[in-house]
Structure 1
């Protein structure tokens, strides 16, 4: 099972962008449960980023909500950012 750490930027952006949006908060934790079992589950649409973000990966929470992360090891990841496509890229 994957271990997840949250960067301070992720925590700050989560609070700011999702405050009062309980549906999206619940949806995020549903997706995190899937991620913990298999970070490459097709429902997450996990993909490697390119350009200046080439060391990072992303998965989808909703149509336009993404979580950006990187692998520390095969068993540990750090969530870096969360938000809409335009906010995180």
Structure 2
């Protein structure tokens, strides 16, 4: 599976603490093996985020993404729950 990163995702990722970056990398590996692994709590978003999905990175952080096509994932944003606002 191919992963594309939005410029917004990259900017937010660079500002995160190294501990969280490591956790994101670990969860991304799980995500690429099984998008719907129970540990990630992958779910479809609604409202203004309709068409997007989210998965958990630890308790506090989330990654918003979309399925660009069958073989490509586009990571849109990363942050705490405030990314939904």
TM-score range, shorter chain: over 0.9
Q: Do residues 5 (structure 1) and 4 (structure 2) align?
A: yes
- Structure 2: stretches of 5+ with no match in the other structure: none
Structure 1: state its 5+ residue gaps.
none
How many positions carry a matched residue from both structures?
Answer: 84
Residue in structure 2 matched with residue 29 of structure 1 by the alignment:
25
Normalising by structure 1, report the TM-score. 0.90
Name 1:84's counterpart in structure 2.
80
Report the 3-state secondary structure (helix = DSSP H, G, I; strand = E; otherwise coil) of the residue aligned with 1:40.
coil
For residues 48-88 of structure 1, the C-alpha deviation after alignment (integer angstroms, 9 at most, x for no partner) is 000010110000001010000000112211000000001x1
**1:44 Cα deviation from its structure 2 partner:** 0.3
Cα RMSD after superposing both structures: 0.7
Structure 1 residue runs of 4+, over 2 Å off?
Answer: none
Question: Structure 1 CA distance, aligned partners of 2:22 and 2:42?
Answer: 19
